[in-house]
Amino acid sequence: MASQALLVMSLIIILGLNIFLVAHANYLNQDIDITWGDGRGKFLNNDTLLNLTLDQSSGSGFQSKAEYLYGKVDMQIKLVPGNSAGTVTTFYLKSQGLTWDEIDFEFLGNVSGDPYILHTNVYTQGKGDREQQFYLWFDPTAEFHNYSILWNPSHIVFYVDGKPIREFKNLEAMGVAYPKSQPMRMYGSLWNADDWATRGGLVKTNWSEGPFVASFINYNSENACIWSIDNGTTTNTPCSPSGSSSSSSSTSTSEWFSQRGMDSSSRKVLKWVQKKFMVYNYCKDKKRFWQGLPVECGAKKNIKNKNKNKNIKS
């Protein structure tokens, strides 16, 4: 039925020996509300496609109906084609309040022929300044690609088409704040940021190229822990290593929630992406952090030194 968040529509047509199956449809309006844009955000294709539009008057955006405390969320996105300079398409998690937490995918538009820049950031308690930027190894405007955020008590991992591109570890033991107590909602938007988005604001939005459109399909929050409100009281439905979650199967929840780090093959992919496609890393920006790089930037070195000291003492 159309009221279901995920509907598996199996159409079996038997013609001689031929059998055809039609795959499931993901009805975005069951999980997502369009929240701004005065009609510039629209559900299409029987609510399986969401288009956001930006023109000279306004952009548009949406948010998830649910809030989550830990989870793995996925969205397939096709970015604005052609001359998209000045535009920013986003997919991110964010909590409320003045000391919010946030985990960002931001896609910075380009002049035709130039690559998009994928801008990532992590905010904890209202403080960000943890940017890493990447080129992509494909044209993100030609077809849909999958972008994922994994957030559990041990680390945050950004994925593109299943490939890890960035990891932010929980280093509270070293005094680094980590998002762990504020529920976050998923957001998406398309907006004008030509004061900074393309070459630091040097290239402005060419409105004659508009209106600009970014498309979204297949939002997946099945592996996310919903923060619910019962009788006016906010309660968390916790995830646990054994897999108890209101929105996840025990197997899938255990897999992502219990993950403390990446295996060797994932680590190898991460290194490949960062070596070949990273164009900015805040941990290498000594000019910006002239008084000293953030603590987490020297985490590996500090951990090695601690281990050496332990071995010496023993």
User: Residue 162 falls within a domain, yes or no?
Assistant: yes
User: Residue 236 falls within a domain, yes or no?
Assistant: no
pLDDT of residue 240: 52
Least Cα distance to 71 among 230, 271, 223, 280 occurs for 223
User: Residue 15 falls within a domain, yes or no?
Assistant: no
User: Residue 242 falls within a domain, yes or no?
Assistant: no
For residue 237, pLDDT over 70 is answered with no
Range with the lowest mean pLDDT among 58-62, 70-74, 211-215, 300-304? 300-304
Tell me the CATH number at 78: 2.60.120.200
User: Residue 103 falls within a domain, yes or no?
Assistant: yes
What total of structural domains would you count in the chain? Answer: 1
Tens digit of each residue's pLDDT (9 = 90 or more) over 153-164:
999 999 999 999
26 confidence band (pLDDT: 50, 70, 90)? confident
Tell how strand 212-230 and strand 233-236 pair up: antiparallel
Tens digit of each residue's pLDDT (9 = 90 or more) over 85-134:
999 999 999 999 999 999 999 999 999 889 999 999 999 999 999 999 99
Determine the Cα angle at 115 with ends 109 and 120, to 5°: 65
Domain housing 137: 28-226
pLDDT of residue 254: 63
Model-level pTM? 0.85
Range with the lowest mean pLDDT among 9-13, 65-69, 128-132? 9-13
User: Residue 176 falls within a domain, yes or no?
Assistant: yes
172 is catalytic: no
Range with the lowest mean pLDDT among 1-15, 131-145, 270-284? 1-15
- Mean pLDDT, residues 263-284: 97
Least Cα distance to 266 among 120, 130, 167, 154 occurs for 167
Least Cα distance to 132 among 156, 101, 112, 151 occurs for 156
Q: Of 67, 106, 143, 255, which one is the catalytic site residue?
A: 106
296 is catalytic: no
